[in-house]
Amino acid sequence: MRKKAPYQPPSIPSSEITSESVWLKRRHFMSVAAGGLIAGAPLGRALAASGSLNYAAASNASPGGFYTGEKQTPFDDVTRYNNFYEFGTGKDDPASYAHEMSIDPWSLQVDGEVEKPGTLNLEDIQSGFDLEERVYRLRCVEAWSMVVPWVGYSLADLLKRFQPTSKAKYVQFYTLQDRKQMRGQRSFTSTIDWPYVEGLRMDEAMNPLTFMATGLYGKDIPNQNGAPIRLVVPWKYGFKSIKSIVRIRLTERRPKTTWEMLAPQEYGFYANVNPQVDHPRWSQKTERRLPSSLFSPNRIDTQMFNGYQEQVGHLYAGMDLKRFY
């Protein structure tokens, strides 16, 4: 079996990196823009130190939306409170059982409407693209949310390498299917038709915010968060951010997606975060920001497109978002 190159941690803590100021590539850093620096301090921290940090300012901490200065959800919450039904439906099941999945070797196939179909192995996935850090809000349809410092690259960077054809209108994603490694897939009570699948419209896939994460908090991404590579679409409900991807297929027709197949009246293809459109069984107006407890529930208002309206609102101009939820 191929040996994995030892992970080189960034030489500065992840909390001090802003995506605008530092793009990191394994083994070396490349400064591409000084835009995020105020007198040497990262933008988020400088704002926080000024004492005038409010929610709106934090949301807009970077013009591209690549970085929010909001308090980051601690590593332990990000990696122990998960949805990954392949390992069970309890929030702590993925942290308990995702180690039963091996990610080495791994193969990610890219096919369909592309000029150059091919596969990426683990090494390609982990170090074949320029890595950068993005700090995004993640809003689950269940009305909890987190702020996560991801490491990875844009989906556009990945797709361009395989040269999408003019017929490519959608992108479909598939999670690993392996009953031996994924105990949730062996469960008799599971109603999901495995493998977990997701999809995006081509313009959503190519939007600069759409991210492939291979790490978080400056480390390789833990299995429970979707190792070795998972999608992150920060303006959509979390279920769109499919984990442990083995296939990306570009298509002419809109692909089927797991939650839409399961309950189409509750979960749509678009699944854009929208406080105006409630889930049939609960309100989407507010969310519980982790860490949260009985004594500090930490409820905050949910923002349109999870606060990324400026970056992605144009994608849905003229669409009835109550109908296309």
Instruction: Cite the annotated binding site for Mo-molybdopterin by residue number.
Output: 82, 85-86, 140, 175, 225, 230, 241-243
The reply on whether position 223 binds ligand MTE by CB under 6 A is: no
Cα gap 161→29, rounded to integer Å: 22
Closest CA to 79 of 231, 192, 234, 215: 215
Q: How many residues does the chain have?
A: 325
Cα gap 203→39, rounded to integer Å: 37
Show the binding pattern over residues 55-94: x = contacts Mo ion (CB under 5 A), - = does not. ----------------------------x-----------
Closest CA to 119 of 11, 282, 280, 247: 247
Q: Pick the binder of ligand MTE from 19, 68, 241, 272 (CB under 6 A).
A: 241
241 binds, among Mo ion, ligand MTE, none (CB under 5 to 8 A by kind): ligand MTE
Closest-by-Cβ residue to ligand MTE is: 238
Cα gap 321→312, rounded to integer Å: 13
Q: Which positions ≥6 away from 63 have C-beta within 8 Å?
A: none
The CA-based dihedral angle spanning residues 66, 150, 217, 93, taken in that order and rounded to the nearest 10 degrees? 140
14 binds, among Mo ion, ligand MTE, none (CB under 5 to 8 A by kind): none
Show the binding pattern over residues 149-188: x = contacts ligand MTE (CB under 6 A), - = does not. --------------------------x-------------
Q: Pick the binder of ligand MTE from 152, 238, 255, 307 (CB under 6 A).
A: 238
In the region spanning residues 223 to 282, those forming contacts with Mo ion, defined by CB under 5 A, are 238-239
SS3 102: coil
Show the binding pattern over residues 5-44: x = contacts Mo ion (CB under 5 A), - = does not. ----------------------------------------
Is residue 199 within 8 Å of residue 254, measured between CB atoms?
yes
Hey, what are 144's tokens? 């909890």
CA 267, 80, 130, 5 torsion-angle sign: negative
The reply on whether position 83 binds ligand MTE by CB under 6 A is: yes
Stretch that binds Mo ion, among 56-64, 136-144, 205-213, 214-222 (CB under 5 A): 136-144
Hey, what are 156's tokens? 């556009």
Q: How many CB atoms lie within 10 A of CB 9?
A: 13
85 binds, among Mo ion, ligand MTE, none (CB under 5 to 8 A by kind): ligand MTE
CB of residue 175 to ligand MTE, shortest distance in Å: 4
Residue 272 main-chain phi, psi, to 5 deg? -75, 135
Q: Pick the binder of ligand MTE from 18, 61, 65, 86 (CB under 6 A).
A: 86
Return the DSSP state at 321: T
The reply on whether position 162 binds Mo ion by CB under 5 A is: no
Q: Is the peptide bond before 195 cis (omega within 30 degrees of 0)?
A: yes
223 binds, among ligand MTE, Mo ion, none (CB under 5 to 8 A by kind): none
45 versus 90: smaller Cβ distance to ligand MTE: 90
Is residue 42 within 8 Å of residue 149, measured between CB atoms?
no
154 binds, among ligand MTE, Mo ion, none (CB under 5 to 8 A by kind): none
- Chain residues that interact with Mo ion, rule: CB under 5 A: 83, 140, 238-239
- Chain residues that interact with ligand MTE, rule: CB under 6 A: 82-86, 138, 140, 175, 196, 225, 238-239, 241-244
